[in-house]
Amino acid sequence: MYMWKVYHNAFEFSTERFPFPAVENQQRGYKQFVRFAKSVGILFSYQKLLKYDHLSMMDRLVLFLAEYLGTAILVFLGCAGCVKYREGSGPGSLEVAFAFGFAIIIAVQTVGHISGAHINPVITLAALIMGVTPLIQVPLYLGGQFLGSLTGYGLLKTLVPQEYIKRSQDNVSLCSPEPNPKLQDAQIVFMEFLLTFFLVLIVCSAWDNRNSTKLDSLAIKLGLAVAGLALVGGGFTGAHLNPARTFGPVLINGDWGYHWVYWVGPLPGSIAGSLFYRIIFQKPLKETEEKSDGKITPSTNA
C-alpha cells in the first residue's frame, strides 16, 4: 500500500509539479468548455430561473400595471404616428420609425424604473434566459403586455375615424401586419428573426454588469436603436419585433393573415440573441456582486 502511494504521488498529473505550457493550456481549455456548457445548459442555473422574488401582492400588481401602461403607451403612440389623414399621402418610413422610437423613449422613461419596461414578450424571454427576471414574474409581464396592447390600440380606434383605420385602398387595417408582398414567407420570418436578434443584443448589453455605469439616457438610446431597426426593416416586414405590439391590432381588426410570422420570427430571435450574449460575452458575477433576490433591475424594451 505504501509503494502504491509513492507511485501515485510520483506520477500525479498536476500543473504545480509540471508547469508546462501544454498542461496549462489543457486546463484553460477545460475551464472554457465548462463555462460554455453551463451557459448552454440553462438548467445549470435553474436557481436563478425559479428563485422566489419575495414580492408582495401589491408589488406584483404594480409590476403588472407598469408593463400594462408601458405597452399601451407604445402601441397607442406608435400606431397613432402611422395614421394617414389624406388620400395618397401620409407619414413615410422615417416618420413611422421615429414615432415608434419616441414611443419607446416615453414608455421606458415612464415605467423603466418600476418594471424594467420590457413591454415586449421577446425582451421578457431574454430576461428569463439571462437570469434578470425570475420565472415567477413572467406571467405578470406577459399579461400586462398583451392587455396593454389591446388597450392602447382600442383607445386609438375610438379616437380615430374608421376611414383612417381601414382605407379602401389598403389591404389591412392600421398597424396590422403587412409585410412586403414581394417577399417569401421564409424571407419575412428570417428578417424578423435578425432584427429581433440585434434588438436583444442591445438590451442584454444594458443588463451587463460591466455596463452599469453607462446607462445614462438609456431610454433615449433604446428609442433611437428601435427607430434604427424599424427604419431598416420597415420596408421588408414592418419591423414589429414584438408579438404584443402585433397582437392588439390583429385581434381588434381581425387581420390574422401574417400574424404567425411575428411569433415565429421574433421568439427564436430572442432565444438566439440572449444565448449568444450569455455564452460569448457575459462574465459571471463574483459572489459579492450578486444581486439580491427580488430586486428588479432596470431593463428595457422594445
User: What HEC string does 174-206 produce?
Assistant: CCCCCCCCCCCHHHHHHHHHHHHHHHHHHHHHH
Question: Do the domain assignments include residue 175?
Answer: yes
The share of the chain scoring above pLDDT 90, in percent, equals 54
For 82-100, the pLDDT digits (tens) are 888 776 667 888 999 999 9
pLDDT for 163 equals: 82
Question: Do the domain assignments include residue 155?
Answer: yes
Question: Do the domain assignments include residue 189?
Answer: yes
Q: What are the angstrom distances between the C-alpha of 2 and each of 11, 17, 72, 199, 278?
A: 15, 21, 76, 63, 49
Least trusted range by pLDDT, from 14-18, 33-37, 133-137, 220-224: 14-18
Count of the separate structural domains present in the chain: 1
Q: Which of 264, 277, 129, 266 has the alpha carbon at shortest distance from 201?
A: 277
Number of Cβ atoms within 10 Å of the Cβ of 90: 14
Mean pLDDT of 216-226: 93
Least trusted range by pLDDT, from 9-18, 144-153, 223-232, 244-253: 9-18
Question: Do the domain assignments include residue 2?
Answer: no
Q: In whole angstroms, what is the distance from residue 283 CA to residue 285 CA?
A: 6
Question: Do the domain assignments include residue 9?
Answer: no
State yes or no: pLDDT of 253 exceeds 80: yes
pLDDT for 255 equals: 87
Q: Which of 213, 231, 66, 33 has the alpha carbon at shortest distance from 133?
A: 66
DSSP character for 287? G
Question: Do the domain assignments include residue 8?
Answer: no
Q: Which of 288, 278, 266, 284 has the alpha carbon at shortest distance from 122?
A: 266
Number of Cβ atoms within 10 Å of the Cβ of 254: 11
Q: What are the angstrom distances between the C-alpha of 254 and each of 32, 90, 103, 181, 278?
A: 50, 23, 24, 19, 38
State yes or no: pLDDT of 39 exceeds 90: no
Question: Do the domain assignments include residue 72?
Answer: yes
CATH number of 128's domain: 1.20.1080.10
Q: Are 249 and 240 in contact (CB under 8 A)?
A: no
pLDDT band at 12 (very low <50, low <70, confident <90, very high): very low
Residues 6+ apart with CB under 8 A from 179: 188, 236, 237, 238, 258, 261
pLDDT band at 292 (very low <50, low <70, confident <90, very high): very low
Number of Cβ atoms within 10 Å of the Cβ of 269: 26
Amino acid at position 232, single letter: V
| Residue 148 structural domain | 55-289
pLDDT for 227 equals: 96
Question: Do the domain assignments include residue 30?
Answer: no
